[in-house]
C-alpha cells in the first residue's frame, strides 16, 4: 500500500539532507522563524501573553504555519519554548517584560532535586502535541515539521540560574560540588525530554531538534563527563529512523563530543567556518551557519555572506542552510525571504553546472 503524504515528506529536500542524500537544492529554514520580526506574529502576540500563545494549540499552529508559508522555507518548526518542559517538574516559570524567562523557585540545593516530579508529557504537555497535530493538517503534504526540546544541560542551567546567565557560575558550581545531585537532575530531565520528543514524533513531527543553547560554557572534558551520557541516552530512546538535529551555541570546541553524543545533523553556530567544522564531523550532516546580524546589513551583503556559506558546503549532501542562531527581532522580513530564495536558486544552479 502506498502512502502519498509520507512519500512526499520523505522525498523532500529537507528530509534527504537529514539523511545525507543528494537533494535538488540546499534546503533552508531559520531558527526563530516565527517571531517578533514578523507582523503576523506581532498581531497574535498583541492579544495573548507569550506563555498563552505556547499553550493555545490553535494559535501556536497558526504562527507556525504562517511563518513557514510566508518565508517559503523547506521545514516548519512547531512554535513553543524549551522551558515549558520545566513547569511539569514543579518549576515556577514566568516570562517577564524586558527580562525574559524567570524561574521563581531556582534549584540551589540538592534536596530540591528530590522534590522534582517525574514528567508524563501526555498529561502535562498535551497542548504541544495538539499544536503539532493541527499544524500537520495545515502544512503542505511535502513540508516536514520539526519538533524540539531543550537538552538537559540547558534546561538544568535555566533551572539553577533562575533565568539567563552570562557565566553560568551557579550551574557549574552546583555540578562540581554536588555530582550525585547533578546526575539525578540530569537523569530526571533526560527521561522527561525523551518522552516529550517521542510524543512529538507520535503527534506528527518528522524531525526533532535538541537545543543545547548554553552548553558552550563547558570545557570538552566537562561536557564528556557531565553531559554527553545523558544526551546520548535521550537520542537512543527516540524512534528509529527519525532524524535528530543536535544544536548548540558557542560549541566550536565541543563538536566532536556532540557528534559522539548523537544526532544525524549537527547545528553549527556562526563562530565556526562551516567547511572546517564539517571536516571534523564524520558521518553526519550539518546545519547552519549564517550570522543573523548580516540580515540587518544591506541585502547584497547578506546574500554575499550566504553565498560563502554555500561555497563552504561545496554542494555536499547533508547541508541544511540556517542561521547560526535565531532571527533577530529587528530583521526585515523581506531580507529573510530574499535569503530563502537566494539559497534555493544558488544551490540549484550549482548542481546544474
Active site residues: 32, 36, 45, 81, 158
How many Å from the N-terminal Cα to the C-terminal Cα in the chain? 38
DSSP 116: P
Q: For residue 48, give the nearest of 95, 100, 116 by alpha carbon.
A: 95
Q: For residue 152, give the nearest of 214, 220, 100, 101 by alpha carbon.
A: 214
37, 329 in Cβ contact below 8 A? yes
216, 237 in Cβ contact below 8 A? no
Q: For residue 182, give the nearest of 221, 152, 213 by alpha carbon.
A: 152
Q: Got the DSSP string for 240-264?
A: TT--EEEEESS-GGGHHHHHHH--S
Backbone angles phi, psi at 218, to 5 degrees: -100, 155
287, 320 in Cβ contact below 8 A? yes
Cα 205 to Cα 3: distance, rounded to the nearest angstrom: 16
- Residues 6 or more apart whose CB falls under 8 angstroms from that of 352 comprise none
Cα 129 to Cα 197: distance, rounded to the nearest angstrom: 10
| Helix/strand/coil for 130 | helix
Containing H/E element for 233?
helix 228-237
Amino acid at each position: 500500500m502506498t502512502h502519498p503524504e509520507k512519500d512526499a515528506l520523505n522525498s523532500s529536500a529537507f528530509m534527504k539532507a537529514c539523511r545525507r542524500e543528494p537533494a535538488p537544492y540546499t534546503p533552508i529554514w531559520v531558527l526563530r522563524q516565527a517571531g517578533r520580526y514578523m507582523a503576523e506574529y506581532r498581531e497574535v502576540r498583541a492579544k495573548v501573553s507569550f506563555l498563552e500563545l505556547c499553550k493555545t494549540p490553535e494559535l501556536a499552529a497558526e504562527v507556525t504555519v504562517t511563518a513557514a508559508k510566508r518565508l517559503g522555507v523547506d521545514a516548519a518548526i512547531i512554535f513553543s519554548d524549551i522551558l515549558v518542559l520545566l513547569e511539569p517538574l514543579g518549576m515556577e516559570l514566568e516570562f517577564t517584560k524586558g527580562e525574559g524567562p524567570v524561574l521563581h523557585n531556582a534549584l540551589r540545593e540538592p534536596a530540591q532535586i528530590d522534590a522534582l516530579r517525574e514528567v508524563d508529557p501526555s498529561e502535562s504537555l498535551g497542548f504541544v502535541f495538539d499544536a503539532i497535530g493541527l499544524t500537520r493538517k495545515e502544512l503542505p503534504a511535502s513540508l516536514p515539521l520539526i519538533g524540539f526540546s531543550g537538552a538537559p544541560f540547558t534546561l538544568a542551567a535555566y533551572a539553577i540560574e533562575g533565568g539567563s546567565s552570562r557565566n553560568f557560575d551557579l550551574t557549574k558550581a552546583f555540578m562540581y560540588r554536588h555530582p550525585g545531585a547533578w546526575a539525578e537532575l540530569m537523569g530526571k530531565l533526560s527521561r522527561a525530554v525523551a518522552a516529550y520528543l517521542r510524543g512529538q514524533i507520535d503527534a506528527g513531527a518528522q524531525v526533532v531538534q535538541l537545543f543545547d543553547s548554553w552548553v558552550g560554557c563547558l570545557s570538552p572534558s566537562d561536557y564528556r563527563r557531565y553531559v554527553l551520557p545523558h544526551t546520548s541516552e535521550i537520542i537512543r530512546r527516540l524512534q528509529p529512523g527519525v532524524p535528530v538535529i543536535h544544536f548548540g551555541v558557542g560549541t566550536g570546541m565541543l563538536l566532536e563530543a556532540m557528534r559522539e553524543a548523537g544526532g544525524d545533523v549537527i547545528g553549527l553556530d556562526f563562530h565556526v567556518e562551516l567547511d572546517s567544522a564539517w571536516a571534523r564531523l564524520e558521518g553526519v550532516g550539518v546545519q547552519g551557519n549564517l550570522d543573523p546580524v548580516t540580515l540587518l546589513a544591506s541585502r547584497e551583503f547578506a546574500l554575499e555572506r550566504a553565498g560563502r556559506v554555500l561555497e563552504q558546503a561545496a554542494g555536499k549532501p547533508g547541508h541544511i542552510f540556517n542561521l547560526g542562531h535565531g532571527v533577530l527581532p529587528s530583521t526585515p522580513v523581506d531580507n529573510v525571504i530574499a535569503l530563502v530564495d537566494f539559497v534555493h536558486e544558488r544551490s540549484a544552479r550549482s548542481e546544474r553546472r
